[in-house]
C-alpha cells in the first residue's frame, strides 16, 4: 500500500494485525528525514483510499494503528509541529467529505474500542487531528469540532474520548454537545458508548471545574429534548450511575474486576504484557507503577471482603458530595430530573435529598462565629496555631484538609487543583479561629519554617503543595504582630523569623519583651541533636 506499511500486509482479520502495523511504522519513521511529514502523508493517502472505497479492510486497520499517536513523540513530534499546520487541512477536508459516506460494516479485526464500520475510519482520522494540533494554533480541533454534530448523525458509534472532547472547541459548545447527545440517544444501542463518554465529560466525579464541557453542562441539559429520547433504565445508567460511580454491583463482581486488573498489572511488572513499541517509559518505571497498582487493588480486595457495605456507602457519599459542591453538576441534574423517566428521576431526587440533608449537618470545621478578632497579624497567628495545634496538640480539632473539603458545601475544594496556593476557605477558618487565653499562656516558643526542614503542619491544609524549591515563601509575620505579643505572655523564643525579614519595629518590640531569636538552621541542628540524644 505504501513503503511505511508492512509487506506483505497483515491479514486484517488477525487480532495482532494492528500491533504489527504499528511496529512497522515506528521502525520506518525512525529512518525518515522528516518523520512527521511522512506520518501525515501516510494518513492522507489512506484517507483518500477510504473515500475511494479502495481496500477498506486494510485501510481501516492501518488507520486504527496510525491513530494510536506514536507519531506524536520525540523527533517525529518536533517535525510535526513544523508541518502539521500545512498538512492537516487536507486531512480535515477528507473528514468533511466523509459526511457523504454511510456507516457500512467493514470486515476485519474489531478491537473493543472500535465498531467495525466506516465510522472507525472517521474516528481514527479525527484522533490524528487531535494528536497533531499544537497550542496555540487550535484550528485543527476547531474544524473537526464543527463537523462532529453532522458526523455523529451519520456515524453514531463515534465514541473516542479524544474525539468527543473536541466538542469543547466548537464555537457554540453547548449547542453542539446537545445536538450530538440527541443523535446518540436516538441511535439507540449504537450511540450509547459515545453518549457515555460525553456524560462522563460533562458531570462525572473527575470532571474539573475549569473544564469547558463541565461548565457547559447546565446549558446542555436545558437544550436536550423533553422527554429524553432514551430508555429510562439506560438513561439512569449513562447519565447518573456511571458518571457518579454508583452503578449497582456486588462484592464478587468488584473483587473479580480487581483480580483481572492485578493479572494485567503483574504481566506489566514482569515484562510479559504487550507494551506498545513507542512507550516513553523505561521498563523499570513501568514495573514500579504496576507494582503500586497491584498493592492498591489488593488493598481494595481486602476492603471489599470485609466491608463491602461501607465501600458502597462511601461511593454514594462521594456522589452526593459532588452534587452539593459542584454547582454545574447540581444544576444539570436538577434539569435532567425534569426530562428523564421515573427511574432516573427517582434516583436523582434521592441524591439531591441526601445532599440537602448533608448541607444541614454540623461541620467539624465550621467557620467560627463570631470570628476571632484578637490577632492582627495572620502570619504570627499561624505560628501560634502551629505550636498549639500541631506541636502541643492542645488546640483541637486538628485541622485536616480532607475532612474540611468533604464537609464544605459552598464549592468543591480539591487538593490537586487548589493546593498550589493558599486555599482561601482554610485561611478564612484559621483567621476566625478563637484561641482561649489559657491555651495562649502555654506558648513559650514559636517556629517559622521555610519549608526546608519539612514544613509546618498547618501548611498541609492551608497550602498543601507549598514548595520553597519553586520559590514559595511562608506567609510573613509583619509589624502588625507587635500588637499580638501581649496575647502570648510567656513567649521567650522564636526560631526561623528571618524567613519573614522582620522590620526594626517588630525586632525592637521582641527585644523589649525579652524574646530570643534563633535562626532556622541553628534551631534545626539543635532539634536533630536533641532527637538523637533522646533516641540514645
Q: Are 201 and 244 in contact (CB under 8 A)?
A: no
Distance, in Å, from the CA atom of 303 to the CA atom of 395, rounded to the nearest integer, reads: 33
pLDDT in tens for each of the 536 residues of the chain? Answer: 467 788 889 999 999 898 888 888 888 888 888 888 999 999 999 999 999 999 999 999 999 999 976 655 556 777 888 888 899 999 999 999 999 999 999 999 998 889 999 999 999 999 999 999 988 889 999 999 999 999 999 999 999 999 999 999 999 999 999 999 999 999 999 999 999 999 999 988 888 878 899 999 999 999 999 999 999 999 999 999 999 999 999 999 999 999 999 999 998 888 777 655 445 567 788 888 899 999 999 999 999 999 999 999 999 999 998 898 888 999 999 999 999 999 999 999 999 999 999 888 888 999 888 888 899 999 999 999 999 999 999 999 999 999 998 888 888 788 888 999 999 999 999 999 999 999 999 999 999 999 877 789 999 999 999 998 888 999 999 999 999 999 999 999 999 999 999 999 999 999 999 999 999 888 876 665 455 344 43
SS3 content of the chain, % helix, strand, coil (to 5): 65, 0, 35
CA distances from 520 to 388, 457, 525 (A): 19, 16, 9
Return the pLDDT at 529: 46
SS3 state at 518: strand
Residues ≥6 apart with Cβ < 8 Å to 486:
none
Return the pLDDT at 1: 44
Q: Are 271 and 228 in contact (CB under 8 A)?
A: no
Residue 233: in which H helix or E strand, if any?
helix 232-235
Instruction: Give start and end residues of each alpha helix (H) in 52-138.
Output: 56-66, 74-97, 119-131
Residue 447: in which H helix or E strand, if any?
strand 445-447
For the chain, the straight-line distance linking the first and the last C-alpha, in angstroms and rounded, comes to 76
| Grid coordinates belonging to 269 | 511488572
SS3 state at 285: helix
Distance, in Å, from the CA atom of 403 to the CA atom of 346, rounded to the nearest integer, reads: 29
What are the φ/ψ torsions at residue 330 (nearest 5 degrees)?
A: -60, -50
Residue 263: CB atoms within 10 Å: 12
- Closest residue by Cα to residue 37 from 84, 74, 1: 84
CA distances from 509 to 465, 477, 502, 512 (A): 33, 13, 11, 5
CA angle 252, 258, 261 (to 5 degrees): 145
- Closest residue by Cα to residue 165 from 206, 214, 230, 218: 214
Return the pLDDT at 536: 37
Distance, in Å, from the CA atom of 261 to the CA atom of 290, rounded to the nearest integer, reads: 10
Distance, in Å, from the CA atom of 536 to the CA atom of 534, rounded to the nearest integer, reads: 5
Distance, in Å, from the CA atom of 496 to the CA atom of 456, rounded to the nearest integer, reads: 12
Return the pLDDT at 274: 62
| Grid coordinates belonging to 184 | 446518540
Amino acid at each position: 500500500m505504501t513503503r511505511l506499511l508492512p509487506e506483505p500486509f497483515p491479514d486484517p482479520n488477525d487480532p495482532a494485525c494492528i500491533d504489527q502495523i504499528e511496529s512497522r511504522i515506528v521502525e520506518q519513521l525512525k529512518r525518515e528525514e522528516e518523520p512527521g511529514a511522512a506520518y501525515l502523508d501516510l494518513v492522507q493517502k489512506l484517507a483518500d483510499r477510504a473515500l475511494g472505497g479502495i481496500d477498506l479492510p486494510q485501510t481501516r486497520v492501518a488507520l486504527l494503528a496510525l491513530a494510536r499517536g506514536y507519531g506524536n513523540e520525540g523527533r517525529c513530534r518536533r517535525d510535526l509541529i513544523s508541518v502539521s499546520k500545512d498538512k492537516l487541512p487536507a486531512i480535515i477536508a477528507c473528514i468533511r467529505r466523509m459526511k457523504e459516506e454511510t456507516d457500512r460494516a467493514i470486515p476485519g479485526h474489531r478491537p473493543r474500542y472500535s465498531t467495525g464500520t466506516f465510522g472507525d475510519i472517521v474516528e481514527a482520522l479525527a484522533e490524528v487531528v487531535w494528536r497533531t494540533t499544537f497550542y496555540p494554533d487550535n484550528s485543527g480541533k476547531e474544524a473537526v469540532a464543527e463537523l462532529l454534530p453532522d458526523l455523529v448523525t451519520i456515524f453514531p458509534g463515534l465514541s473516542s474520548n479524544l474525539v468527543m472532547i473536541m466538542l469543547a472547541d466548537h464555537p457554540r459548545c453547548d449547542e453542539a454537545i446537545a445536538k450530538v447527545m440527541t443523535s446518540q440517544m436516538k441511535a439507540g444501542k449504537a450511540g450509547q458508548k459515545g453518549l457515555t463518554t460525553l456524560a462522563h465529560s460533562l458531570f462525572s466525579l473527575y470532571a474539573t471545574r475549569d473544564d469547558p464541557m463541565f461548565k457547559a453542562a447546565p446549558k446542555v441539559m436545558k437544550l436536550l429534548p423533553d422527554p429524553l429520547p432514551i430508555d429510562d433504565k439506560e438513561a439512569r445508567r449513562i447519565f447518573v450511575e456511571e458518571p457518579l460511580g454508583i452503578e449497582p454491583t456486588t462484592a464478587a463482581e468488584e473483587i473479580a474486576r480487581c483480580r483481572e486488573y492485578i493479572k494485567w498489572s503483574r504481566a506489566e511488572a514482569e515484562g510479559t504484557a504487550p507494551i506498545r513499541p513507542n512507550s516513553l517509559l523505561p521498563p523499570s518505571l513501568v514495573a514500579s507503577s504496576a507494582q503500586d497498582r497491584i498493592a492498591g487493588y489488593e488493598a481494595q480486595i481486602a476492603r471489599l471482603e470485609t466491608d463491602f457495605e461501607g465501600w458502597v456507602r462511601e461511593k454514594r457519599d462521594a456522589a452526593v458530595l459532588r452534587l452539593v459542591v459542584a454547582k454545574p453538576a447540581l444544576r444539570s441534574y436538577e434539569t435532567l430530573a425534569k426530562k428523564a423517566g421515573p427511574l432516573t428521576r427517582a434516583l436523582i431526587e434521592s441524591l439531591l435529598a441526601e445532599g440537602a440533608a448533608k448541607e444541614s449537618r454540623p461541620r467539624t470545621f465550621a467557620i467560627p462565629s463570631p470570628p476571632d478578632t484578637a490577632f492582627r497579624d495572620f502570619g504570627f497567628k499561624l505560628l501560634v496555631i502551629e505550636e498549639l495545634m500541631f506541636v502541643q496538640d492542645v488546640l483541637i480539632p486538628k485541622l485536616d484538609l480532607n475532612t474540611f473539603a468533604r464537609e464544605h458545601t459552598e464549592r468543591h475544594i480539591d487538593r490537586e487543583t487548589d493546593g498550589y496556593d493558599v486555599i482561601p476557605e482554610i485561611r478564612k477558618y484559621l483567621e476566625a479561629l478563637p484561641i482561649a487565653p489559657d491555651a495562649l499562656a502555654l506558648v513559650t516558643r514559636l517556629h517559622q519554617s521555610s519549608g526546608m526542614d519539612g514544613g509546618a503542619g498547618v501548611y498541609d491544609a492551608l497550602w498543601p503543595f507549598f514548595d520553597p524549591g519553586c520559590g514559595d515563601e511562608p506567609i510573613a509575620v509583619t509589624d502588625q504582630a507587635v500588637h499580638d505579643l501581649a496575647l502570648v505572655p510567656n513567649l521567650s523564643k522564636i526560631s526561623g523569623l528571618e524567613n519573614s525579614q522582620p522590620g526594626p519595629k517588630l525586632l525592637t518590640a521582641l527585644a523589649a519583651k525579652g524574646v530570643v531569636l534563633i535562626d532556622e538552621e541553628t534551631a534545626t541542628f539543635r532539634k536533630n541533636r536533641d532527637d538523637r540524644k533522646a533516641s540514645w
